Amino acid sequence: MDYFRTLRPLFTISQHWIRPRYCSNVAKSSVTSRERKFKSHISSGPNFQDFLKGVSVPKTPAADGQDCDTHSYLSEELHMGNSRKVYFETYGCQMNVSDTEIAWSILQRKGYQRTADLSEADVVLLVTCSIRDKAEQTIWNRLQQLTAMKKRRLKTRTPMKIGILGCMAERLKVEILEREKLVDVLAGPDAYRDLPRLLTVAEGGQQASNVLLSLEETYADVMPVQHAPQGHSAFVSIMRGCDNMCSYCIVPFTRGRERSRPVSSILEEVRMLSDQGVKEVTLLGQNVNSYRDTSEEQFCGSDLTQLSRGFKTVYRTKQGGLRFSDLLDRVSCIDPDMRIRFTSPHPKDFPDEVLHLIAERRNICQQIHLPAQSGSSKILKAMRRGYTREAYLDLVRNIKTIIPEVSLSSDFISGFCGETEDDHQQTLSLIREVGYNVGFLFAYSMRKKTHAFHRLQDDVPAEVKQRRLEECISVFREEAAKVNAALVGSTELVLVEGESKRSAKDLCGRTDGNVKVIFPKEDVAVQPEDSDMAPVNAGDYVLVKISSANSQSLRGRAISHSSLGDRAKHYETVQTAV
Ligand code: 5AD
Ligand code: SF4
């Protein structure tokens, strides 16, 4: 283990600073014979890449789908988990859930075991979020509890290692290692392949970190291991990073540049999930509409329609390759009984092709998450969102024309730099005008490194932000209650998730529009108008007659089992009835 000690400084370096130091003073003319002798001596030993093994991410997956690290200065056997138990805690967005599955897949291959019991864990990994200060505070607090637990465990025979993964590892790097001396491992979002090595270093008693961001890493060859409790819904990451640089957002700094995972690898994962009986897949990316798989030859045109409708981007629109609509088309053809959702598209590049596809394909849910962030054009400009209030509302009208049954959800930020009472009123009026049924609303939290941090004043007092946020929430609830109330009396196709959290006598599921539905657990007809009855289980599709609604959910009674094929029939019935 002393061996690792000698390597210690190299585990936390980034290529950015080592290169100049390494090359600087070696002017050709001044190389002495002593230096030549020294160079020839070290050339037969391990080279620089050996020390960086795993720091630069392997680009080409091996044919068997395993990591293709060819430099093996630290022998592979040393990276093995030897059945050590890993406990994951995931914070933040769905992307982090997906990252947890990737990290777990990598560790599982190396012989680690997963545990749901913290007390028996050899390794505790926190998959972290940096998007708002509150998210980070939660993790700092959790770290204190874990390090106290680690101290207690030091006296027992099962020592515990703590690792910080994801955005917070990327954003705070050195600060975490210095402030929390008992943290053993830091791995940024592009460094999960390096986890086995980092954990091996940590076993030797050292802190180990890799926070290098990559331009290529998509973990395309790492099949995530799904760990959903019910196992009927899954998230599939289709791209990583973000190039949008909205002025408030830390994501481009923690997750790096945008890159798309190849179509073939996404289709393979969705096929695998379908074989496992998964009934609903959500395609995940920070900005799914700018998905491009340029590894495919076909040229499918560009999305110029949006640029001419009042949307603009600070980045060059990507050309060529397969676009999001092509991907959605292919994914939805895999299993006609599998629901497909996606999140999040950016309003600035929402092409009509995607809307038409949603309208036509019965297994693509008629639900769109369309983050608005503000209803004021002035604030949208300061946020660098690339659209105005009018352009956003035009897009909403276009969506509603092409998909009349659409359910819309959104994200809003209250109290962004320079937001006046009038701007806030415009946000409230936009929420009323659109009529969303789900919303994610936040008070602005300034993040270092962002454009807003450098150039704008965080000038809305905390209590004003809070009051505006509460007003947004209450208008949202009113509107969602109206949207949901309009469904009373209709029959909805519901994918059953399992027992309701509130009562074991009820089941809970979701409509095509992603609204939660609660209904009594009872046997129902095996198909519409059949007299044979069967119990309802998680993963089943059932038709539910809706009897009441509030802003959060619907209540009703299941009529019969069903399938996605019935969605079309169901809509025909509803329209005839109207
Ligand atoms: N403060 C508050 N909310 C933020 N979001 C992103 N950055 C911030 C921030 N600095 C919100 C946006 C985004 C969602 C994922 O988080 O609404 O869409
Ligand atoms: Fe952040 Fe904007 Fe990218 Fe979303 S689109 S992740 S808000 S920079």
CATH of the domain at 133: 3.40.50.12160
Q: Are residues 462 and 501 in the same domain?
A: no
Q: Which CATH number is 349's domain given? A: 3.30.750.210
Residues with CB under 6 A from ligand 1: 131-132, 248-249, 371, 373, 411, 413, 442, 444-445, 447
**pTM (2 decimals)?**
0.82
Q: Could you tell me the sign of the dihedral formed by the alpha carbons of 25, 15, 178, 117, in that order?
A: negative
pLDDT confidence of residue 101: 93
Ligand nearest to the CA of 453: 1
The CB density around residue 555, as the number of other CB atoms within 10 Å, is 17
| pLDDT tens digits along 356-377 | 999 999 999 999 999 999 999 9
Is ligand 2 within 6 A of the CB of residue 185? no
Ligand nearest to the CA of 241: 2
Ligand nearest to the CA of 371: 1
Q: Are residues 104 and 28 in the same domain?
A: no
Tokens of 147: 């390090």
pLDDT confidence of residue 485: 97
Spatial separation of the C-alpha atoms in residues 507 and 501, rounded to whole Å: 9
Spatial separation of the C-alpha atoms in residues 507 and 500, rounded to whole Å: 5
Pairing mode, if any, of strands 161-166 and 553-562? unpaired
| pLDDT tens digits along 332-360 | 999 999 999 999 999 998 999 999 999 99
* Mean pLDDT computed over every residue of the chain: 84
Q: Last residue of a domain, which of 36, 52, 68?
A: 52
| pLDDT tens digits along 476-492 | 999 999 999 999 999 99
Contact 324, 368 (CB under 8 A): no
Spatial separation of the C-alpha atoms in residues 361 and 276, rounded to whole Å: 22
Q: How remote is the CA of residue 244 from the centroid of ligand 2, in Å?
A: 6
Q: Last residue of a domain, which of 485, 504, 535?
A: 485
| pLDDT tens digits along 227-281 | 554 569 999 999 999 999 999 999 999 999 999 999 999 999 999 999 999 999 9
- In-domain check, residue 73: no
Q: Name the residue with higher pLDDT: 192 or 1.
A: 192
pLDDT confidence of residue 529: 82
pLDDT confidence of residue 318: 58
Total domain count for the chain?
5
| pLDDT tens digits along 91-135 | 999 999 999 999 999 999 999 999 999 999 999 999 999 999 999
The residue type at 114: R
Give me the domain span that covers residue 170: 79-210
Q: Which of 287, 344, 380, 412 to mutate to test the pocket of ligand 2 (most atoms within 8 A of CB)?
A: 287
- In-domain check, residue 412: yes
Q: Are residues 376 and 357 in the same domain?
A: no
Is the pLDDT assigned to residue 411 strictly greater than 80?
Answer: yes
Q: How remote is the CA of residue 245 from the centroid of ligand 2, in Å?
A: 6
CA quadruple 418, 422, 423, 428: dihedral, nearest 10? 140
- In-domain check, residue 62: no
Take atom 16 of ligand 1 and give the residue whose Cα is closest.
131
| pLDDT tens digits along 182-228 | 899 999 999 999 999 999 999 988 999 999 999 999 999 998 876 55
Ligand 2 atom with minimal separation from the 250 CA: 1
Burial 269-296 (b: 16+ CB within 10 A, else e): bbeebbeeebbbbbbbbbbbbbbbbeeb
Spatial separation of the C-alpha atoms in residues 544 and 506, rounded to whole Å: 13
Of 97, 122, 108, the C-alpha closest to 66 is 108
- In-domain check, residue 216: no
Q: Name the residue with higher pLDDT: 181 or 23.
A: 181
Q: How remote is the CA of residue 224 from the centroid of ligand 2, in Å?
A: 24
Q: Are residues 359 and 232 in the same domain?
A: yes
Tokens of 15: 């290529």
Spatial separation of the C-alpha atoms in residues 562 and 544, rounded to whole Å: 10
Take atom 5 of ligand 2 and give the residue whose Cα is closest.
244
User: What share of the chain in percent tops pLDDT 90?
Assistant: 72
Is ligand 2 within 6 A of the CB of residue 246? yes
Span 45-65, average pLDDT: 37
Ligand nearest to the CA of 130: 1
Q: How remote is the CA of residue 288 from the centroid of ligand 2, in Å?
A: 11
- In-domain check, residue 59: no
Measured in whole angstroms, the distance separating CA 98 from the mean position of its chain's CA atoms is: 6
Q: Are residues 120 and 90 in the same domain?
A: yes
Spatial separation of the C-alpha atoms in residues 514 and 494, rounded to whole Å: 9
